[in-house]
Structure 1
Amino acid sequence: MNHNSLHCILSPDILRAVARDASPEDSARILRTLEIDQSFRLARAEIAGRQGPVTQMAAVAEVGGVPHRTIYDQAHSQQTTPGKLVRAEGDPASADPSVNAAYDNFGLTYKFFQEVFSRDSIDGQGMPIRALVHYGNDYDNAFWDGQGSMFFGDGGAMLTDTTQGLDVIGHELTHGVTQIEANLTYSGQSGALNESMSDVFGSLVKQYHLGQTADQADWLIGADIVGPLLKPALRSMKAPGTAHAHDNQPADMGSYVKTMADNGGVHINSGIPNKAFYVVATSLDGPAWKAAGQIWYDALTNPRLKPNATFTSFAAITLNQARIRFGTTSSEADAVQAGWDAVKVPLH
């Protein structure tokens, strides 16, 4: 994996596009976010150059089966090491709503992976997770740093308090799961699959918490944290390209975007596998995590999924996993075939 990559919920392309049309004041806030993101990328590149490849993400917790959460207040600084510890596992609620939202949504994400897939935290071995809230000043993003920490901005021009988005937190923590399991290179189609995995499981975390079936879910990412410039959501898995005025996601391979920006369009082209998953999930009865989610999780944890995976190679693994788990002629296998057909991704 490209260890210098920054797994932000908002891509630099969207930030720049909105900044062009925003008021001078909002544009200045957005550009500050871009500067922070870039400075963090450079800092990580420098650290990676000194240390070499990352081989271990974080210390493993001593007790399995329960989350190990610590929440730190960065006090609007751009400091990348944890600030003041505000709430640790088992502590009572804080007076700070952002601290409590991060703590609670970390817990709900942990609960989903533990109860649905018997996965003990991000690495499956009880890995502690850290939240660094109030990061930056008017910072319009949230990101997973690849080292066991999630950073939360309070929002400014485009987002509101990012700790309030359960699907966003599920999205970012899934980047850690993907890093552990498949190490998908954050570029091109493998990078778009990386982003799509996070949207899929981020959405499933929210659906699981709300007790929704696939048909009841809105399939929107980030609807709870977008400001007026990005309403109604960051992305739509149901209808890529329709989430907001600047949404440029394609819905199938016929509109695949070839670009050098955003690591080869990782946030843009993720709409294609997102739509495939939506079709699979809604083609089957009941909650999306029971069949479609299980198939995607089986594929993510399959050793055949390589870091340089393409949409086609991933699609083939999902179909194989559906046949193994549910049967060659099952409705689940047929749904997987229909999902990839809908987005024009061949399975061989």
Structure 2
Amino acid sequence: MNEHKDGFVPQTLLEKLAKEGHEEAKQTLIKMEEIKEKKREMTSTAENMITPEQNSRKANREVYDSQNTSQQKYKLVRKEEYPPVSDENVNFAYDYGGKTRDYYLSKLNRNSIDDKGMDLIFNVHFSERMNNAYWDGSQMQFGDGDGELFTNFTKGSDVIAHELSHGVTQYLNGLEYFGQSGALNEHFSDAIGSAVKQFIKGQTAETADWLIGNEIVGPKFPGKALRSMKEPGTANSFDDQPSNMKDYKDLPNDNGGVHTNSGIPNKAFFLVSMGIGTDQATLIWYAAWRNKTLIKKTATFQEAFEAIFKTAQDLSNEGKVTKNAAEVVKNAFREVGIGSLVTV
């Protein structure tokens, strides 16, 4: 199992915030290291998490209150078809988790994380004042934030969709979390996160803000969001995302720059969405991601582009996306410095 190995807030960003004197960022770094150690101890194969009877049923949601401990499934506070509770964190997780599930099913014909009706497990109020959220290979954890740098992480629909989509990638192609394949892993979660946020808000590519994490940043966070898919590198004072391959950063940290270099395919996804609509772009990306012969675990940006380009051609021929989809894909990736080897 190649689970997502970092939280929604990159370790490198937390380190920069800690150097600026934000004690809660430092404490979150310590907690994340403890969490990573627990994850290594609890690693199990993804196949063992599924029972045969789950194959065709709809995924259920279960929301647990960790009560500021690091315990998973500590206290069940809401489950499928139960009414809202007084805790908005619980309701956000339940509602946005359901909307993400519904987006995958209605737009992409995918039945939950594993495509077999896998239940969605959310742990809210996880740890104490933790400035992060993450997928651990089987379920999701959400911190409350410290109220200064970050607020409740369940408040961001793109946060929930992002972390859930790391699980989808785990089952689709298991993109290795390093270098370009790791950046593609992060990129897919950002793309789905933005698509789901637009779905919930009734927005289009033209009316969306294309910001990632803007709904969970606090008053002392030095910027408006964690990332911008429209304008990589502009979301906050530490944002060093490039938007073109000429500025690609081969970094010694952040697993080779997975959160940094994801800005390049993020920009391409934004451009394609502007050309043919976000839902059509997402359909192309998802269809490419699920084809393991096209996008393997160690896929590069170029290989991903070729897969997306071919998928756009196929879906266009099938009448599932617009006729100009492949041309839009080619032009978008060319604009971000990828795709010189492919011609129409």
Does the alignment reach a TM-score above 0.5? Answer: yes
Q: Which amino acid aligns with 2:251?
A: T
Match of 1:73 among 52, 60, 65: 65
* Corresponding residue of 1:346: 339
- Which runs of structure 2 are paired with 1:103-122 in the superposition (5 Å)? 103-122=94-113
Match of 2:206 among 215, 232, 254: 215
SS at match of 1:72: strand
SS at match of 1:267: helix
**Residues 1:38 and 2:33 aligned together:** yes
* Corresponding residue of 2:287: 298
- Which runs of structure 2 are paired with 1:110-259 in the superposition (5 Å)? 110-147=101-138, 149-156=139-146, 157-228=148-219, 229-259=221-251
- Post-superposition CA distance 1:192-244 (Å, at most 9, x none): 00000000001001111222221111111111111131431110000000001
Q: Which amino acid aligns with 1:12?
A: Q
- Asked if structure 2 preserves the Cα contact closer than 8 Å seen for 1:73 and 1:134, the reply is yes
- Asked if structure 2 preserves the Cα contact closer than 8 Å seen for 1:71 and 1:132, the reply is yes
- Post-superposition CA distance 1:136-178 (Å, at most 9, x none): 111000001111x110000014210001100110111011111
SS at match of 1:70: strand
- Post-superposition CA distance 1:264-304 (Å, at most 9, x none): 111111101100111111122xx411x21111011111122
SS at match of 1:56: helix
SS at match of 1:46: helix
SS at match of 1:296: helix
Aligned-pair Cα RMSD in Å: 1.8
Match of 2:300 among 306, 310, 317: 310
* Corresponding residue of 2:17: 18
Q: Which amino acid aligns with 1:311?
A: F
Q: CA deviation at 1:6?
A: 2.3
* Corresponding residue of 1:267: 259
Q: Distance in 2 between matches of 1:275 and 1:230?
A: 22
Q: Which amino acid aligns with 1:300?
A: W
How many percent of aligned residue pairs carry the same amino acid? 40
Q: Distance in 2 between matches of 1:187 and 1:102?
A: 29
- Asked if structure 1 preserves the Cα contact closer than 8 Å seen for 2:5 and 2:177, the reply is no
Change (3 A) 1:56 1:30: same
Give the TM-score normalised by the residue count of structure 1.
Answer: 0.92
Q: Distance in 2 between matches of 1:150 and 1:221?
A: 18
- Asked if structure 2 preserves the Cα contact closer than 8 Å seen for 1:167 and 1:221, the reply is yes
- Which runs of structure 2 are paired with 1:330-341 in the superposition (5 Å)? 330-341=323-334
Structure 2 gaps of 5+ residues are: none
SS at match of 2:64: strand
Give the TM-score normalised by the residue count of structure 2.
Answer: 0.93
Change (3 A) 1:106 1:174: same
- Asked if structure 1 preserves the Cα contact closer than 8 Å seen for 2:55 and 2:116, the reply is no
**Residues 1:321 and 2:321 aligned together:** no
Q: Which amino acid aligns with 2:211?
A: L
Change (3 A) 1:76 1:119: same
Q: Distance in 2 between matches of 1:129 and 1:347?
A: 40
Q: Distance in 1 between matches of 2:272 and 2:155?
A: 28
**Residues 1:282 and 2:274 aligned together:** yes
Q: Which amino acid aligns with 1:74?
A: S
Q: Distance in 1 between matches of 2:284 and 2:68?
A: 41
Q: CA deviation at 1:260?
A: 2.0
Q: Which amino acid aligns with 1:9?
A: F
Moved more, 182-191 or 254-263: 254-263
Q: Which amino acid aligns with 1:38?
A: E
Q: Distance in 1 between matches of 2:51 and 2:192?
A: 24
SS at match of 2:261: coil
